[in-house]
């Protein structure tokens, strides 16, 4: 933006979400045998080799059946109980979160919907004590007295949480303010989370112990067939080696694909040079903020700034130096922003800052701070650079294109007024 005003682009619709891709990790196991063992196999009579294969096959089938049966028992016993504990915590947490949002008037939700989450949490807790079945599976009752005591206590906490929630809700409907039950409500919820965390940790420990015992038995059974298995594997070693090589090639291809997809995900939201948000992502964020402002009437502003005489930097020092200037500017300005703000490279030497929950005077002060800090920053080879800033506050009923256009006009006015200054946007024409 050196001599003419640039107009805001008409591309402010949020991009569709891209579902994450899942990478698959393959564990490849190889078996090896000595040359002498292979010689012994060659000297074995056909009948003896057939009997050996039948024996090994029978032992493998028995071990497989044992493994399947034992693994199924472990899955039926501990995994559903761990899932049930997580469901208790998740349902109670959802009820707590929804209720707090309802009390704060941030969520339009039916009180019975919140209560149903507590009832769902209680159902899972009861299933852990008495057993039960739903679409997720079958729950075998806990037999550990300590864990049963904790779950019984959890049910008592759920009852008390429901009672306090009803008291708080009635008070909210009548007075609209806080009650003396608020601290007790939060304390009961915290105790419930701690209790379920302890049960979950204990169940995971029992599950790990059972798995460890299962592995030891597996190891002992596997040792019984090790010699015969090695002989059979030695005959098939060449085939296995080829299979392993194919699997390694496939694994490398999967890793390369995952890396390429991760790079694409980063490129979809990040400017490669400055590591700031790119134009597409900041547009999505601005659309979200526009909807939020419409729902909750929260103010926000846009700060658009453009480096002064940047073309002369590229002409006199080269584009590599120009790139380093852009990176330095990005780092310098980013240090002055809050975590709440969003900073993006809008295009070329033009940048945009989304300043949330801030009115025009606050955004103007922030822009002036950034302008002054940048003007005092020494950049290698170039020295000091300046920028012109335009600031606009969102006005009710305004489209994103209109808001960006007003910020752009303010930036253009700062350029015309002599550069290295901050100008506020004019109000939208009626």
Closest CA to 322 of 337, 303, 309: 309
The set of long-range contacts for 146-153, using a CB threshold of 8 Å and a minimum separation of 24, is 146/202, 147/199, 147/202, 147/203, 150/195, 150/198, 150/199, 151/125, 151/199, 153/195
Q: What is the pLDDT of residues 128-138, one digit of tens each?
A: 889 888 887 78
- Which residue in this structure is represented by tokens 């919907």? 113
This prediction's pTM: 0.45
- Report how far residue 280's alpha carbon sits from residue 336's, in angstroms, rounded to the nearest whole number: 23
- Report how far residue 186's alpha carbon sits from residue 172's, in angstroms, rounded to the nearest whole number: 16
Angle at Cα 126 formed by Cα 124 and Cα 130, nearest 5°? 120
Listed in sequence order, the DSSP H helices in 236-305 are: 237-269, 279-296
Supply 241's token pair: 């080696």
Which fold would CATH assign to domain 279-424?
Alpha-Beta Plaits (3.30.70)
- Report how far residue 110's alpha carbon sits from residue 175's, in angstroms, rounded to the nearest whole number: 18
β-pair partners for 352: 304, 344
Indicate the length of the chain as a whole number: 430
CATH, domain 35-235, list 3.30.1380, 3.30.70, 1.10.287, 1.20.120: 1.20.120
- Report how far residue 135's alpha carbon sits from residue 155's, in angstroms, rounded to the nearest whole number: 22
- pLDDT of res. 356: 96
β-pair partners for 389: 305, 422
263-278 as b/e: b if 16+ CB within 10 A: eeeeeebbbeebebbb
| Beta strand 132-134 pairing with 137-139 | antiparallel
Phi/psi for 377 (5° steps) reads -90, 125
What pLDDT tens digit does each residue of the chain (430 aa) get?
544 444 444 455 444 333 333 333 344 334 444 444 444 444 556 677 677 778 777 877 877 777 767 666 665 678 888 888 899 889 889 888 888 888 777 766 778 888 888 899 899 999 888 988 888 778 889 888 999 999 899 999 989 889 888 888 888 778 766 677 788 888 988 988 998 999 889 988 888 887 787 778 777 777 777 776 777 767 557 656 776 888 888 889 999 999 888 878 777 899 999 999 999 999 999 999 999 998 999 999 999 999 999 999 999 999 999 999 999 999 999 999 999 999 999 999 999 999 999 999 999 999 999 999 999 999 989 999 999 999 999 999 999 999 999 999 999 999 999 999 999 998 776 5
- Which residue in this structure is represented by tokens 């004019």? 426
- Report how far residue 6's alpha carbon sits from residue 387's, in angstroms, rounded to the nearest whole number: 16
Cα torsion 214, 215, 216, 221: sign = positive
Supply 322's token pair: 């120009």
The DSSP call for residue 356 is: E
The structural domains of the chain, with segments of one domain joined by +, span 35-235, 279-424
- pLDDT of res. 75: 58
- Report how far residue 349's alpha carbon sits from residue 306's, in angstroms, rounded to the nearest whole number: 6
- pLDDT of res. 229: 73
- pLDDT of res. 35: 44
- Report how far residue 98's alpha carbon sits from residue 75's, in angstroms, rounded to the nearest whole number: 33
What are the Cα distances from residue 221, in Å, to 66, 176, 224, 226, 275?
10, 68, 5, 9, 56
Element (H, E) at 306: strand 300-307
- pLDDT of res. 309: 94
Strands (E), 4-155: 132-134, 137-139
- Which residue in this structure is represented by tokens 């950034």? 370
Phi/psi for 306 (5° steps) reads -135, 135
- pLDDT of res. 430: 56
Is 18 within 8 Å of 265 (Cβ atoms)? yes
- pLDDT of res. 41: 42
- Report how far residue 203's alpha carbon sits from residue 214's, in angstroms, rounded to the nearest whole number: 16
């Amino acid at each position: 933006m050196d001599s003419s005003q640039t107009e805001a682009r008409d591309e402010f619709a949020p991009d569709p979400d891209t579902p994450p891709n899942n990478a698959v990790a393959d564990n490849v196991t190889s078996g090896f045998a000595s040359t002498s063992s292979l010689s012994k196999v060659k000297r074995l009579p056909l009948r003896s080799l057939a009997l050996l294969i039948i024996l090994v096959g029978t032992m493998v089938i028995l071990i497989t059946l044992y493994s399947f049966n034992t693994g199924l028992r472990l899955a039926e016993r501990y995994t559903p109980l761990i899932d049930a504990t997580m469901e208790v915590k998740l349902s109670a947490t959802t009820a707590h979160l929804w209720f707090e949002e309802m009390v704060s008037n941030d969520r339009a939700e039916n009180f019975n919907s919140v209560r149903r989450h507590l009832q769902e949490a209680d159902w899972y807790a009861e299933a852990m004590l008495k057993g039960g079945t739903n679409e997720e599976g079958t729950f075998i009752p806990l037999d550990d007295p300590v864990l049963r005591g904790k779950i019984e206590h959890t049910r008592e906490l759920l009852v008390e949480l429901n009672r306090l929630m009803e008291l708080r809700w009635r008070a909210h409907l009548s007075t609209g303010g806080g009650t003396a039950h608020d601290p007790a409500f939060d304390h009961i919820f915290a105790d419930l989370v701690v209790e379920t965390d302890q049960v979950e940790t204990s169940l995971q420990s029992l599950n790990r112990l059972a798995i460890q015992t299962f592995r030891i038995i597996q190891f002992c059974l596997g040792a019984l067939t090790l010699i015969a298995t090695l002989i059979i594997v030695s005959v098939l070693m060449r085939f296995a080696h080829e299979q392993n090589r194919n699997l390694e090639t496939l694994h490398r291809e999967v890793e390369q694909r995952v890396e390429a997809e991760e790079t694409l995900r980063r490129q979809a939201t990040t400017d490669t040079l400055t590591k700031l948000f790119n134009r597409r992502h900041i547009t999505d964020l601005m659309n979200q903020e526009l909807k939020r402002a419409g729902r909750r009437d929260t103010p926000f502003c846009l700060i658009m700034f453009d480096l002064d005489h940047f073309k002369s930097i590229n002409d006199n020092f080269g584009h590599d130096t120009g790139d380093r200037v852009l990176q330095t500017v990005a780092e310098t300005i980013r240090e002055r922003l809050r975590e709440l703000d969003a900073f993006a490279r809008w295009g070329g030497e033009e940048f945009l800052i989304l300043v949330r929950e801030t009115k025009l005077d606050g955004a103007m002060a922030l822009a002036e701070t950034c302008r002054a800090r940048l003007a005092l920053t020494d950049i290698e080879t170039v020295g000091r650079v300046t920028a012109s800033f335009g600031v606009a506050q969102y006005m009710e009923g305004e489209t994103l294109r209109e808001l960006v256009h007003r910020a752009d006009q303010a930036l253009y006015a700062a350029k015309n007024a002599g550069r290295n200054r901050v100008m506020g946007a004019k109000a939208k024409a009626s």
